[in-house]
Amino acid sequence: MRILLTNDDGYHAPGFEVLEEIARQFSDDVWVCAPSEEQSGAGHSLTLNHPVRLQQFAERRFAVTGTPTDSVMMALREVMDGPPDLILSGVNRGANLGDDITYSGTVSAAIEGALAGIRAIALSQVYTRESAGGDLFAAARAWGPKVLKPLLDTPFDDRTLVNINFPPRVPDDVQGIRIVRQGFHDYSRGSIVEGKDPRGHRYFWFGLHAIEHTLDHGTDLEAIDDGYIAVTPLQLDLTHHASLEAMAKRFHD
């Protein structure tokens, strides 16, 4: 099995080493192509207005001066001599739960894989101030292979992918694995911090704290809150099918 690894925290991120450790338990044919710098929050963006550079560090190890999506495109079109059987993206430092998904470069790299018809899985390690003090990625490292194994021969429908989040707990305290739907949390009250730069000009910095969580039953957010690993199958079709008919009536009746 040929595996492509990427992420949005950047080629040198600690979680990327964890991902490679997990991937090597399944295959020796592991390729690495990730953004050279952190790209958290890049979503599914493509670099269109300036060139990107490809850096090679070793056989099968590359970085791209661009986004996670750029990295996957470069890997599939330029870097690899044949398509991978599996794309793994992560392990992200921090949650990709609920409405994080559309902002997430980690998930978007997997989306790019799904668009190319390749089995793609995003992995993220939720952390708290307390859990970040120890081995932040302990749960992902210990449980990653167990969660991935059944997903490697589960059929994925076209244009679908899987999003995995590990709870901020030591491995022995992880309660198990839940297959759950995407939850909801409210970013609308996320803070924008204003400051002044050294030359006295105003700047704004988007903060991500004080997010309102809605712990609906059966969601990824609830699973993490209960100490479970959250596994969520995602689809690329964002159409709200239930609205199609009612909206058409507004236009055609």
Site string for Mn ion, 148-187 (x = CB under 5 A): ----------------------------------------
Would you say 232 and 184 are in contact if contact means Cβ atoms under 8 Å apart? no
Site string for Mn ion, 42-81 (x = CB under 5 A): ----------------------------------------
The token pair at 129 is 């101030």
Buried b (16+ CB within 10 A) or exposed e, 229-244: bbbbbbeeeeeeeeee
Amino acid at 58: A
Tell me how far the alpha carbon of residue 146 is from its chain's centroid. 18
Would you say 220 and 98 are in contact if contact means Cβ atoms under 8 Å apart? yes
Is 70 known as a binding-site position? Answer: no
Nearer to Mn ion, 2 or 162 (CB): 162
Please pick, from the candidates 9, 70, 220, 222, the single residue that binds Mn ion as defined by CB under 5 A: 9
Which range in 2-10, 54-62, 144-152, 185-193 contacts Mn ion by CB under 5 A?
2-10
Q: Which residue has the tokens 């167990």?
A: 146
Nearer to Mn ion, 93 or 141 (CB): 93
| Calpha distance 211→191 (Å, rounded) | 9
Which range in 15-23, 33-41, 74-82, 215-223 contacts Mn ion by CB under 5 A?
33-41
Site string for Mn ion, 101-140 (x = CB under 5 A): ----------------------------------------
The count of C-alpha atoms lying within 13 angstroms of the C-alpha of 208, restricted to the half-sphere facing its C-beta, is 9
Which range in 71-79, 86-94, 148-156, 202-210 contacts Mn ion by CB under 5 A?
86-94
User: CA-based diameter of the chain, in Å?
Assistant: 63
Nearer to Mn ion, 78 or 144 (CB): 144
Please pick, from the candidates 36, 92, 125, 232, the single residue that binds Mn ion as defined by CB under 5 A: 92
Return the DSSP state at 211. Answer: P
